[in-house]
Structure 1
Amino acid sequence: MTASEVLELARKQGKMIATAESCTGGMIAAALTAIPGSSDVVDRGFVTYSNGAKMDMLGVRAATLEAHGAVSEAVAAEMAKGALDRSDAQIAVSVTGIAGPGGSEFKPEGRVRFGLANADGVQTETVEFGAIGRDAVRAATVAHALHLLGKSCLS
């Protein structure tokens, strides 16, 4: 789903969008706001690359980071919920992952955790994009986040 399609679906539903981004560094918000007229749908974006930013800006709990690590569904869930709670949006998407290069046995390159928060609650998922390179992982993450936002606008 393209950014334009997401914006149109959100517009038809009367919903605003917020983003909470780590590994993409604002690329999801940038994709949405590259479309003229997006200000009636996009409320705000949070770029929370460090753990401190995740805690300060989104309310991610230190205990969650300590127990699960920054690249976890638990953190993605708290990021999405925090973005929803700290905005005027009705839908928030979050991403945290290992774009690469590198990674580890437990957190391989290309693993991205997604969170989606709306009136129905918070859902999370993990996508393994693989060691396809930093730029490709980030681009694939943006595309998948747009897909999740579009699906949320349809429900």
Structure 2
Amino acid sequence: MDDRMFWLADAPLDLAPLRRRLEDDRAGAFASFEGWVRDHNDGRPVRGLRYESYVALAEREGEQVLAEARARFDLCGAVCVHRIGDLAIGDMAVWVGVSAAHRGAAFDACRYIIDSIKDRVPIWKHERYADGEAGWLHPERAPDGGAA
């Protein structure tokens, strides 16, 4: 079995094998996060998007984020997969799953992983809007410089 904790995928995600990778007799908790393509951004209707990435760098940095999370939160396991390519409204764009002895660590680690992936991993989003325009978004920053 592949021992990577983070990778990019160009096809829809099959969640059952991802979740099975986190099963561990030491675990008393499992938490996950799913990020989906929504139909709007900043008040503009969105019709779809494309994710692009520098794959080697993204996968290396993603592995680092998950290694940090495993150490910081004393996890039994952690996995994150981010889609690249063209996605439609409602498609799953990213999945994070963690297992830990206790629920607090699982919840905290899940948030840490998705926030760090969005902040640090070179994945760019190209949104297509209903009015025919398109635009690149990354990093995901709010107007005040914080994460969106």
TM-score, length basis structure 1 = 0.29
Higher RCO, Cα 8 Å, sep 6+: 2
Larger Rg: 2
Larger fraction in helix: 1
Larger fraction in strand: 2
